[in-house]
């Protein structure tokens, strides 16, 4: 009889502020007025970490704009 290998065991751990910022930036590219990618402000990341409604970021932090996968800028009301 062949013994099956031990299954993988996942570990859940709390993410740091930098890890959360990187996770958000993996899916949403925040840019400044000149179109350069910028890091998220830490107050925005801290606020996102405290949310309990399972919502994704729907508004840009002050001074930042979102860019969607097509490369177009996206305002808080939709594509620009």
Give the number of domains in the chain: 1
Is 32 inside a domain boundary?
Answer: yes
Is 70 inside a domain boundary?
Answer: yes
- 11-16 LR contacts (CB < 8 Å, sep 24+): 15/49
Is 4 inside a domain boundary?
Answer: no
Report pLDDT for 77: 45
Is 28 inside a domain boundary?
Answer: yes
Report pLDDT for 18: 93
Mean pLDDT by 10 residues, the chain (80 residues): 85 91 86 85 87 65 59 49
**Per-residue H/E/C for 1-66:** CCCCCCCCCCCCCCCCHHHHHHHHHHHCEEECCCCCECCCCHHHHHHHHHCCCCCCCCCCCCCCEE
């Amino acid at each position: 009889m062949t013994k099956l290998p031990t299954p993988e065991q996942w570990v859940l751990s709390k993410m740091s502020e930098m890890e959360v910022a990187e996770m958000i930036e993996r899916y949403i590219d925040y840019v400044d007025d000149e179109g350069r990618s910028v890091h998220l402000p830490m107050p925005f990341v801290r606020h996102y970490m405290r949310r309990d409604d399972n919502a994704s970021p729907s508004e840009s932090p002050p001074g930042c704009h979102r860019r969607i996968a097509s490369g177009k800028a996206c305002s808080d009301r939709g594509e620009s």
